[in-house]
Every structure is written in C-alpha cells, then in structure tokens.
Amino acid sequence: MAEERINAEQVQHVASLAKLEFTPDQLAMFTPQLEKIIGMFEELSKVDTTGVPVTSRMSDHTNTLREDVAVKSDEALREALLKNAPETANGLIKVPAIIDESGDGE
C-alpha cells in the first residue's frame, strides 16, 4: 500500500481552520478524495516540462473587462432582485456578520 499522504485528523484540522464542520461520514468520504488529489499532483510533478514555456493564462486576451461605470438601476428590477434575498434591510441585502474566533488575528 502507498504511503499515506493525508489522514482524517489532518482533513478535520484544515476544515476547522476554514470554519467547516464535517460529519464522520463526510470526513470518511473527503479524506480518500483529498488523498487522490494529492497523488495526482505528485504524478504531475514527475512530468518533464523542460522547454515548455510558463503559461499564466490559456488565452491571448488581456484586460477584457468592461469599463466600471456606475449606472442608476431600474427600481422595479432592484425590487425584484431584493425579493430573491433571504433577508433585506433598508433596501439592501442583509448578510450575517463574519467574526474571526480563531484568536490568531488572521
């Protein structure tokens, strides 16, 4: 059997850092999946890429963004969009506060 690259305790630790909670069944499912992913990266690292130019994007397109211009939205459209939000306040979408309880300041 191949050397273990990641175990359930490590997956649980990373999940807690990401503020995720896994049930034991989910942990049993995700651990082997992450093991396979790590194995794929190790396999890719063995590929000889000598002479292959560095690729930062798959397209020659650069800066294909539209100009960032504020426009007045249609009131009816705005109301329709707000109806899809689970909670609103003062014409805005209300979201829960995210508070870092890790104590490490990051």
Contacts of 82 (CB under 8 A, 6+ apart): 88, 91, 93
pLDDT per position as a tens digit, 14-41:
999 999 999 999 999 999 999 999 999 9
What's the pLDDT tens digit per position in 87-96?
Answer: 999 989 999 8
Give the 3-state secondary structure of residue 46.
coil
8 A C-beta contact, residue 28 and residue 9: no
Report phi then psi at 54, rounded to 5: -65, 135
**Residues 6 or more apart whose Cβ sits within 8 Å of residue 12:** 22, 27
Per-residue pLDDT of 32-88, as tens digits, reads 999 999 999 999 999 999 998 888 877 877 777 888 898 888 899 989 999 999 999
Q: Which residue has the tokens 């960032």?
A: 68
Residue range 1-17, pLDDT digits in tens: 456 789 999 999 999 99
